[in-house]
A and B are shown apart, each in its own frame.
Chain A
Amino acid sequence: MNPYLSIDTLRNCLEGVIPAGVATCSRDLIPNVTYVSQVMYVDQEHIALSFQFFNKTRENILANPLATVLMVDPDTAARYRLKARYLRTETQGPLFERMKARLAGIASHEGLVGVFRLRGTDVYRILDIEAVPGAELPRQLPGRAILPALRQCSERLNHCVSLEDLFDNLLDALDRNLGLSHSMLLMLDEPGAKLYVVASRGYPSSGIGAEIPLGVGVIGIAAREQVSIRIMFTAAEYAYTRAVREQAIAEGLVDALEHVISLPGLNEPSSQMAIPLPGIRGLIGVLYTESQQQCRFSYDLEDALVTLCAQAGLAIQGLQLGDELGTAPALPDCLCAEDSPDDASPDSLRVEYHDRDHSVFIDGDYLIKGVAGAVLWRILSDYSERGRTDFSNRELRLDSRLGLPEISDNLEARLILLTRRLQERSPHLRIEKTGRGRFRLLLQRPLVLVPMNSCLINPPVASVDRA
């Protein structure tokens, strides 16, 4: 093995821009050569080739595992010959899903949508890499140095004192330091087998509260398989907005979509990347970024985001734990909010609550559902019955009616989601953080609470006029 040539530094040859060639040889020494749609980087010592059709290459590697790949740097035209030994075929799991998603982008790029069907991911051990002599173009300077930018992003996360602060700083840092102007952060709702948007950047509508089922689109697959997925070209079948809608149609849930918060997102992104956020006990969320520019996200950028997300995942859990134990760092400013009755309207605010899915509608408009909806109904009911406006995370955790999971309840993230949805949708009803693990209800109009179905928390109709 040439000690100076590593697949780590040649990964842009594997982006699928210029198809590679693969030579194999049968047991009776008859060579075979073919173009291959995708050679994927696995790690420093392994690559994977897409297995789509039963063909001579397939037959040969099962009989004689040696293969040679001729790959090209799409920037400089430099050629490299890579010798490898076939090890195994994977037909499911993270590596398979990663390749399947990337292949969808390549198929679209090559005008071959519907032709490619990934049967398996053939994993090879790299034996040798040889630089093939020949004319080359000078390498252009990269637009942005990724390592210093990663360091800046990491330092910003270190200074975050609250979860809300971290959500916003993470996306802002990606924009400022890495030029990722369209991004969103989603948290895992484990019992619901879905993810929900808690922060987004670069879209006309924030989409906060929008949901994506596990396994649907780039984001859902990255979450289910806990693997980063990066697509270099437009891959319509992986666009999550379309994927979510198609799944809903398939399951006969089209009506329900009318009450679903629209996902933010570019219409037909040309590059997509979804990175899981790992926590101590497994996945806690997904970071997603996209671009209208083809091949916008490199392997190196993917590495940077995987590293940053590892830090963000642990930081989120640390801040949640600190909040739970009352050890979170002090908030920089006093956020104790005062009610401002000047804007109060004499009209009542009609709040409907559907027990079935904990959905809340304000003046007929959908606001939120799930745990965040149950929390809102719980505090509004408390307010209507006892006049309470100050609440603690601890009392919510102890309230069995809210159905919070015992482990990883993500309560703080759900409160941020609720706070932001209220900011966007209901100017007369807000919640604001008043300290670690505490928040206050701010109401500027009288309330009418209307429980629908069989409500467990409140009497059938409660008219409240304290505001």
Chain B
Amino acid sequence: MHASTVQGPLDPTLIQFITSQLSIQVAACSDAGEPTLVRAHGARVSADGCQLTLMIPSSQARELLACIAANGRIAAVFNEPETHRTVQLKGKDARIEAISADDAAALGAYVDRLAKRLQHYQVPEAFSRAFYAADPADLVALSFSPSAAYGQTPGPHAGEPLKPGSTP
């Protein structure tokens, strides 16, 4: 499988997609090759388009945070539930940071939008709110420079490198 190398800033279409309050899961692995994952609660991209930041509940991600601290390797999958459009971004330089006041403030909008998206599958709002509930004091930020992107929308082309400028 060939990696789609991302050099420099992310494509604006891709930025727009991954920051549109999607379902996000983040994975890392230990130096012994043990993978782990957690759900993220929001994403933002730096003004220059080169840094992606994900909000993670630290209480749910003890092992993942240890992996990131050890080797910085990260993978994050973004899925739009109602369309199944999915993309995965990977990086090698992830680091743990404190969230900003803006990140904490964005949490409410993130949960509202996802609850709406999941209504497409008759998921009750109370469920979505419990599922995406997070205490801002528990959140940490993981920032990295995406170095590879893959389309993962279900189908025979899932897993192929995302072509620059294309939408997932």
Contacts and interface: CB of A to CB of B under 8 A. Distances in A.
B38 A70 contact: yes
The interface size bin for chain A is 35 or more
A423 B6 CA distance: 74
B73 A31 contact: yes
B157 to A, nearest CB: 8
Interface string A131-142: 011111100000
Contacts of B38: 70, 132
A165 interface: no
A67 B36 CA distance: 8
Interface string B104-144: 00000000000000000101001100110100000000000
A133 B155 contact: no
A186 B73 CA distance: 56
Interface stretch (B11-19, B44-52, B83-91): B83-91
B133 A21 contact: no
B152 interface: yes
Contact of B37 (A57, A68, A137): A68
A135 B130 contact: yes
Contacts of B79: 35
A275 B46 CA distance: 56
A21 B37 contact: yes
B35 A30 contact: no
The interface size bin for chain B is 35 or more
A77 B156 contact: no
B71 interface: yes
B29 A33 contact: no
Given A56-B1, A79-B60, A70 B37 contact: yes
Nearest to B25: A21
Interface string A182-203: 0000000000000000000000
Nearest to B122: A294
B26 interface: yes
Contacts of B130: 76-77, 135-137
B27 A29 contact: no
Nearest to A107: B154
B33 interface: yes
A112 interface: yes
A59 B150 CA distance: 15
Contact of B133 (A66, A67, A135): A135
Contacts of B31: 29
A54 B159 CA distance: 8
B86 A115 contact: no
B131 to A, nearest CB: 4
B1 A23 contact: no
A23 B27 contact: yes
Nearest to B70: A29
Nearest to B127: A77
Contacts of B123: 18
Contact of B35 (A31, A109, A111): A31
Interface in A21-61: 21-25, 27, 29-35, 37, 52-57, 59
B39 A32 contact: no
Given A33-B75, A33-B77, A77-B131, A66 B34 contact: yes
Nearest to A21: B25
B36 to A, nearest CB: 5
Contacts of B26: 33
Contacts of A32: 27, 35, 75, 88, 90
Nearest to B126: A137
Contacts of A68: 27, 34-37
B59 interface: yes
Interface of A: 18, 21-25, 27, 29-35, 37, 52-57, 59, 64, 66-68, 70, 72, 74, 76-77, 79, 81, 83, 109-112, 115-116, 132-137
Given A77-B131, A109-B121, 7 more contacts: A23-B29, A29-B71, A31-B35, A34-B77, A54-B159, A111-B84, A132-B60
